[in-house]
Amino acid sequence: MTASRRQILTGALAGALLPAAQAQTSAPARDARPAAPETVRPRRLRPGDTIALVSPANATYEREPLEIAVETLQALGFKVKPGANVRGRYGQFGGTDAQRAADINDAFADDEVAGILALTGGSGCNRIVDKLNYALIRRKPKFFGGFSDLTSLVNAIQKQTGLVTFHCPVAGSEWNEFSLQHFKTVVMDAQPDLLQNPQGERGAHLVQREDRISTLRAGVARGPLIGGNLAVLSSLAGSAFFPDTRGAILFLEEINEYIYRVDRMLSTLRLCGALDQLAGVVLGKFTQCGPGDGNFGTLTLDEVFDDYFLPLNVPVYRGAMIGHIKRKFTVPVGLPAEMDARAGTVRLLSSAVL
């Protein structure tokens, strides 16, 4: 019996749709991502440990800043092992890309070295973020810290290996009592620190004017800490080294950027989906981020932050001691924490080191 034209067409259409339906069913979700590596905590630093001093960003042109950095680490009780290229220079950078990456890789490979700290920030870390030996770092995890341009490296290492890294003073920073106490509590004493701004410092004023907390949206949230310098972090967007922001507490800081540039960087984070599933936001200091010389006015930082963060409906506060400031927290990147936007605090939920 000859099949009718309708039967033939119906059978052909079903046959054509079946592979597509099977492919749609078996294909991974569009936004599926590889599972994050298991969180790894480095060993705590102890007096007598050897710290490798590396220069993955800017060159240090004079001898004295390096001498001060070495003496500072020695005053903390550490032995210091300068990287082979810590005095190097290639343009504004502390050596060629290969040299700067090699110093970090060598420090992770060196069993004598307990931890690695950057001499200074600046620029250049993005140029070497794809040149680190992440397999080696996974095999030999240890303390790694810095801030500013080191945002690239502390987030990339954490993303690629699961190692908790540290957004903290660089060796050349001012190690005042506040910064030193938070560093010791987190990195040396292995305590789950409470990151809270100095309280009650009014000076000659009736109310506290410095280091105030501003709550944009009250609430409490939990999640792993990720973030750092806004310009550097946004420059990683779309790469394999950009942190997984899903369920995370994002902390941000900036310096010397016009407000319209801050707005543009935040738009990059929004457009790449990095803000979509955050648990909360902690804004540090946006130092010398003003309107610039535009003739047509500008949004204020308050307005920019409201535009980007209030629609997220998550806890947000501003003013944390994170950034290009003298007194700063040591923030473990990748470690779960609890933030309270009304109180202006971040509480680490466990020790960041073993």
* Number of other residues whose CB lies within 10 A of the CB of residue 131: 13
148 is catalytic: yes
Q: Which one from 152, 253, 254, 351 is the annotated catalytic residue?
A: 253
167 is catalytic: no
Ramachandran region, residue 54 (left: φ > 0; alpha: ψ -120 to 50; beta: rest): beta
CA–CA distance, 108 with 65 (Å, rounded to integer): 24
Question: Cα(first)–Cα(last) distance of the chain, in Å?
Answer: 79
182 is catalytic: no
What residue spans of the chain are helical by DSSP H?
5-26, 63-75, 97-109, 134-139, 151-161, 177-183, 230-235, 259-271, 301-309
Cβ contact 277:247 at 8 Å: yes
Cβ contact 266:304 at 8 Å: yes
Cβ contact 253:228 at 8 Å: yes
What residue spans of 208-276 are helical by DSSP H?
230-235, 259-271
Q: Which one from 254, 324, 338, 351 is the annotated catalytic residue?
A: 324
Q: Which one from 55, 148, 152, 234 is the annotated catalytic residue?
A: 148
CA distances to 222, 282, 340 from 314, rounded to whole Å, are 11, 11, 11
CA–CA distance, 225 with 247 (Å, rounded to integer): 10
Known catalytic residues? 148, 253, 324
